[in-house]
Chains A and B, each alone.
Chain A
């Protein structure tokens, strides 16, 4: 596979050379030095967890052109191998995200026909686009991919953006940008309880879970009828031709059980709704982004449904809540919330205890919280083997890629997470990630000790952030931008950020909160009032003199790249 890709690349370069009018074919000699010196790596003397529960000490992993050549303690290293000394490091199979939206863009809103009757919208307007392929909306160079890879994710099933039936998912690797990184296309039919609404008045049909449930039955049963008509027409003469309907046609692989419905369901009530549809209609199902399971475990088992647990955990607003001075009633209420919160942390442990081989879904959660949240789950009962399985072998099996992914074995794809400590240790950081045979290196921060914990303000060696910055952020809704005006405030900073007003027209501004500079990392948050709701936005990234590159993340909507440039200081003129 790689050879073919390599040839393709060369061919492209040759073509480029012709187009650029170069006389000699220097492109083949890689004058820009883009091609790596070797595709062979030997990672030596590490503690290697080859599969959940199987660990080798002082083992070496030999990788060649994207494939694991050998793993063991007694391996001869070829001459062309680049050595990576991993004496104190811990290696795990590359993590697999069972359902992710990393790098997936939102399709443009469907055009509404003039005088459209909102009770009979086109399928596109209603959010029913099962014919779409997520790869058509996937940007392999999107910074979100790097964000997840940094946490060890090397393979993900990506699901499309859109409405209730947004399209088909794909499996991609988070490898080098020279490859398409596609492992398999059209592997699942993405589905969710989402009404697109919009329009004046009361929105378009279906507008609530009521209509959405009915619409799933309608789409599925009419696809069955359409398939039947097609079969009859193919085998019999004298029949009316089938009316080609792309929604129905796109559903055929689901009817044939060739691909599952990858159904986003968070609460137990939503899980039950999916399972009742599944029971009624008979499709294969993967439950994605599940957050609550305790009340539906026996039903999940009975339906033999695959589960991708959400990596998102509720914000802890309660365990440290003060209870003194509260009335008895408020005390009891607070206690119940604490129990409820703690229970949400135990969902992974409960699935493991029930023997359900679940994976994880990064969908809707923040990459920066990934390892932290997984450690919270293990602190609440999930075993280390259970965690590793949920990150590797379980999702590999759910996605049907266990043959070549999920463990560190000869012949499997070279996807590894190389950490500075055992995965459960709080201090363990990701030092390297091998994705698709390419090595990605990360800066390992020294262990924090009390003295230089948070540098709030102008600590030694921190960058200067004061001034007015122009920023641009690319969100699915389009590109938007504004200014960040940061001033010194005592030992810290204060600032104001402007942005396109959500209510349309002009700019709105908010106070920047928690402005923190640590090393060359700048982070802050701000609140946006939209439709009576308050959205929390967090921004974090790296400052390089007058350039800032980072991400803007919206709790429930994912994270988007943000770039800013500091305006020249006026005193410099």
Chain B
């Protein structure tokens, strides 16, 4: 009897400790389904059961679940933003050139209204990155926009692989070199910091391997080496367990990091921003997991002048896995417009264009087997638009994550904040918040360089 009680307690206990995120069931009827990977299906039904896409077809039936008539509407996969800083309490631990030990999952702000705004723009997944102050920044986290519970861990996409932020160029050299007088002061220094980090990680790995091997020997009393999550995270990168997402602009430094990664046997790397990516497109295609770019944003600092609105199209035509990201709490609300710009300049097909904000960022985050397209068996992250999402007139109508509706344009009350101040009628709004947040938390040490160089802070 006692045993049974204990067993029962364990079963129930575990169920409660590992809180389950909500999973929904819904039948969406008669939509134009933009699967992204399997073409466009007219007048098609999508059946979602318990958070997963169960069936795609015509005349589907289901009992006891909500049915949504989407006649004349478009259904596309939830938009995925491969570069965001939404729902974070802190973005930059800008105090050391390598901070691979810090975790964005520690500082998730589940109350950030930015999550709801993103949902209203059809974005169901965002990649919450560390900022770009450090050559090697923190471990990022992939968020599913399950807005509402106030529990940060409910937002984490637990089945996404680990990712980490790297940064090249002006930001790390300004912060550490000019700001603090330490390495890196130049682009050469950034490379040296990264190489030294990896070499130290190799030594760290060996120290622990030797220790663990010695432990197995009878009568041995090995002394454990010092612990360093900073180096362990770099070891995990070398072991292929973590995908690098590297802030970069210039072709030369992109190529530099490709070479460094090849030298250390690292193949899981995505470049972020990549404004000069079009110059090294074949190399990006061959050696990396792709490039995540802006549609037409540049010239906010010196290293971002050589840019083109054709970047995404050139990369794509060169078989680089390409995505378009927001890096902004404002752009995240209309990434479908941003993708549309790439189509306008580069004459991409609709399917290629939608891939920029769905399956391609999913590939870059290592989650393409779970999300990013409308396929049976995938997680039911879906958006219904009233028109084709690449039309400037289209407006998202409903957004689902795991089959649960988190946004409905018809039930969109004015105040969707989860939590409000107990004292202030008007909470402070930072005028710069709509700008890119890569350098969030990092004040500029030099202020006399002229406004134009520094007003945008990726």
With known contacts A201-B180, A334-B425, A119–B223 Cβ distance under 8 A? no
Q: Do A225 and B104 have beta carbons less than 8 Å apart?
A: no
Q: Do A329 and B414 have beta carbons less than 8 Å apart?
A: yes
B106, B227, B414, B445: which contacts A201 (Cβ < 8 A)? B445
Judge whether B282 is part of the interface by a CB distance below 8 angstroms.
Answer: no
Judge whether B228 is part of the interface by a CB distance below 8 angstroms.
Answer: yes
Contacts of A239 in B (CB 8 A): 221, 223
CA gap between A222 and B226 in the complex, in Å: 6
Judge whether A464 is part of the interface by a CB distance below 8 angstroms.
Answer: no
Q: Which of B95-136 contact A (CB under 8 A)?
A: 95-97, 99, 101-104, 106-107, 109-111, 130, 133
B90, B107, B228: which contacts A218 (Cβ < 8 A)? B228
With a 10 A CB-CB cut-off, give which of A117, A207, A208 has the most chain B CB atoms: A208
Contacts of B414 in A (CB 8 A): 329, 332
Q: Do A268 and B229 have beta carbons less than 8 Å apart?
A: no
Judge whether A5 is part of the interface by a CB distance below 8 angstroms.
Answer: no
Judge whether A333 is part of the interface by a CB distance below 8 angstroms.
Answer: yes
B104, B223, B421: which contacts A240 (Cβ < 8 A)? B223
Q: Do B97 and A119 have beta carbons less than 8 Å apart?
A: yes
With known contacts A213-B102, A225-B224, A232-B223, A200–B425 Cβ distance under 8 A? no
Q: Do B422 and A341 have beta carbons less than 8 Å apart?
A: yes
Contact with B along A226-255 (1 / 0, CB 8 A): 001100100010011000000000000000
With known contacts A210-B102, A236-B221, A337–B421 Cβ distance under 8 A? yes
Q: Which of B201-243 contact A (CB under 8 A)?
A: 221, 223-230
Chain B residue at smallest Cβ distance from A294: B150
Q: Which of A490-539 contact B (CB under 8 A)?
A: none
Contacts of B176 in A (CB 8 A): 119
With known contacts A222-B226, A222-B227, A239-B223, A273–B423 Cβ distance under 8 A? no
Q: Do B415 and A210 have beta carbons less than 8 Å apart?
A: no
Judge whether B151 is part of the interface by a CB distance below 8 angstroms.
Answer: yes
Q: Do B425 and A208 have beta carbons less than 8 Å apart?
A: no
Judge whether B94 is part of the interface by a CB distance below 8 angstroms.
Answer: yes
Judge whether A454 is part of the interface by a CB distance below 8 angstroms.
Answer: no
Q: Do A214 and B102 have beta carbons less than 8 Å apart?
A: yes
Contacts of B225 in A (CB 8 A): 225
Q: Do B227 and A314 have beta carbons less than 8 Å apart?
A: no
With known contacts A201-B175, A210-B90, A318–B223 Cβ distance under 8 A? no
A120, A202, A222, A340: which contacts B419 (Cβ < 8 A)? A340
Judge whether B442 is part of the interface by a CB distance below 8 angstroms.
Answer: yes
With known contacts A202-B94, A205-B93, A269–B229 Cβ distance under 8 A? no
Contacts of A118 in B (CB 8 A): 95-96, 180, 182
Q: How far is the CB of B99 from chain A (nearest CB, A)?
A: 7
Contacts of A204 in B (CB 8 A): 95
CA gap between A225 and B228 in the complex, in Å: 11
B107, B150, B420, B425: which contacts A321 (Cβ < 8 A)? B425
Judge whether A355 is part of the interface by a CB distance below 8 angstroms.
Answer: no
B92, B111, B150, B179: which contacts A208 (Cβ < 8 A)? B92
Contacts of B417 in A (CB 8 A): 336
Q: Do A213 and B106 have beta carbons less than 8 Å apart?
A: yes
Q: Do B93 and A210 have beta carbons less than 8 Å apart?
A: yes
Contact with B along A68-101 (1 / 0, CB 8 A): 0000000000000000000000000000000000
Chain A residue at smallest Cβ distance from B138: A210
Give the secondary structure class of B's interface: loop
Judge whether B22 is part of the interface by a CB distance below 8 angstroms.
Answer: no
Q: How far is the CB of B179 from chain A (nearest CB, A)?
A: 4
Judge whether A35 is part of the interface by a CB distance below 8 angstroms.
Answer: no
Q: Which of B403-458 contact A (CB under 8 A)?
A: 414-415, 417, 419-426, 441-443, 445
Q: How far is the CB of B110 from chain A (nearest CB, A)?
A: 8
Q: Do A341 and B423 have beta carbons less than 8 Å apart?
A: yes
Q: Do A337 and B96 have beta carbons less than 8 Å apart?
A: no
Contacts of B443 in A (CB 8 A): 202
Q: Which of B162-207 contact A (CB under 8 A)?
A: 175-176, 179-182
Chain B residue at smallest Cβ distance from A118: B180
Judge whether A400 is part of the interface by a CB distance below 8 angstroms.
Answer: no
Contacts of B369 in A (CB 8 A): none
Q: Do B420 and A295 have beta carbons less than 8 Å apart?
A: no
Q: Which of A193-212 contact B (CB under 8 A)?
A: 199-211
With known contacts A218-B229, A232-B223, A337–B423 Cβ distance under 8 A? yes
B107, B151, B426: which contacts A210 (Cβ < 8 A)? B107
CA gap between A295 and B102 in the complex, in Å: 25
Q: Do A119 and B425 have beta carbons less than 8 Å apart?
A: no
Contacts of B230 in A (CB 8 A): 214
Chain B: interface residue count, which band? 35 or more
CA gap between A360 and B343 in the complex, in Å: 61
Q: Do B17 and A302 have beta carbons less than 8 Å apart?
A: yes
CA gap between A334 and B421 in the complex, in Å: 10
CA gap between A232 and B224 in the complex, in Å: 10
Q: Do B182 and A117 have beta carbons less than 8 Å apart?
A: yes
Chain B residue at smallest Cβ distance from A203: B95
Contacts of A329 in B (CB 8 A): 414
Chain A residue at smallest Cβ distance from B178: A201
Chain A residue at smallest Cβ distance from B133: A202
CA gap between A221 and B225 in the complex, in Å: 11
Q: How far is the CB of A123 from chain B (nearest CB, A)?
A: 14
Judge whether B387 is part of the interface by a CB distance below 8 angstroms.
Answer: no
Judge whether A272 is part of the interface by a CB distance below 8 angstroms.
Answer: yes
CA gap between A251 and B103 in the complex, in Å: 23
Q: How far is the CB of B413 from chain A (nearest CB, A)?
A: 9
Q: How far is the CB of B453 from chain A (nearest CB, A)?
A: 18
Q: Which of A324-353 contact B (CB under 8 A)?
A: 329-330, 332-334, 336-337, 340-341, 343-344
Q: Do B415 and A333 have beta carbons less than 8 Å apart?
A: yes
Contacts of B107 in A (CB 8 A): 208-210, 213
Contact with B along A303-334 (1 / 0, CB 8 A): 00000000000110110010000000110111
Q: Do A218 and B425 have beta carbons less than 8 Å apart?
A: no
Chain B residue at smallest Cβ distance from A117: B182
With known contacts A229-B223, A333-B415, A202–B150 Cβ distance under 8 A? no
Q: How far is the CB of B227 from chain A (nearest CB, A)?
A: 4
Q: How far is the CB of B381 from chain A (nearest CB, A)?
A: 25
Q: Do B425 and A333 have beta carbons less than 8 Å apart?
A: yes
Contacts of A330 in B (CB 8 A): 425
Q: How far is the CB of A268 from chain B (nearest CB, A)?
A: 7
With known contacts A225-B226, A302-B17, A211–B95 Cβ distance under 8 A? yes
Q: How far is the CB of A196 from chain B (nearest CB, A)?
A: 11
Judge whether A403 is part of the interface by a CB distance below 8 angstroms.
Answer: no
A200, A213, A317: which contacts B103 (Cβ < 8 A)? A213
Q: Do A208 and B180 have beta carbons less than 8 Å apart?
A: no
Contacts of B109 in A (CB 8 A): 269
With a 10 A CB-CB cut-off, give which of B109, B221, B426 has the most chain A CB atoms: B221
Q: Do B101 and A295 have beta carbons less than 8 Å apart?
A: no
Q: Do B95 and A337 have beta carbons less than 8 Å apart?
A: no
Judge whether A487 is part of the interface by a CB distance below 8 angstroms.
Answer: no
Contacts of A206 in B (CB 8 A): 93, 95
CA gap between A315 and B424 in the complex, in Å: 10
CA gap between A336 and B416 in the complex, in Å: 11
B92, B102, B423: which contacts A315 (Cβ < 8 A)? B423
Beyond A213-B102, A333-B415, 8 additional contacts (C-beta under 8 Å) are A210-B102, A213-B107, A218-B101, A222-B227, A269-B111, A332-B414, A337-B420, A337-B421
User: Can you show 30 pairs from A to B with CB atoms below 8 A apart?
Assistant: A118-B180, A119-B95, A119-B176, A201-B181, A202-B94, A204-B95, A207-B93, A208-B90, A208-B107, A210-B99, A210-B103, A210-B106, A210-B138, A213-B102, A213-B106, A214-B93, A214-B99, A214-B229, A217-B229, A218-B101, A224-B227, A232-B223, A272-B152, A295-B150, A302-B16, A314-B423, A318-B423, A329-B414, A333-B425, A341-B423
Q: Which residues of B contact A (CB under 8 A)?
A: 16-17, 89-90, 92-97, 99, 101-104, 106-107, 109-111, 130, 133, 138, 150-152, 175-176, 179-182, 221, 223-230, 414-415, 417, 419-426, 441-443, 445
10 closest Cβ contacts across the A-B interface?
A119-B96, A201-B179, A205-B95, A208-B90, A210-B102, A213-B106, A211-B93, A214-B101, A207-B95, A210-B93
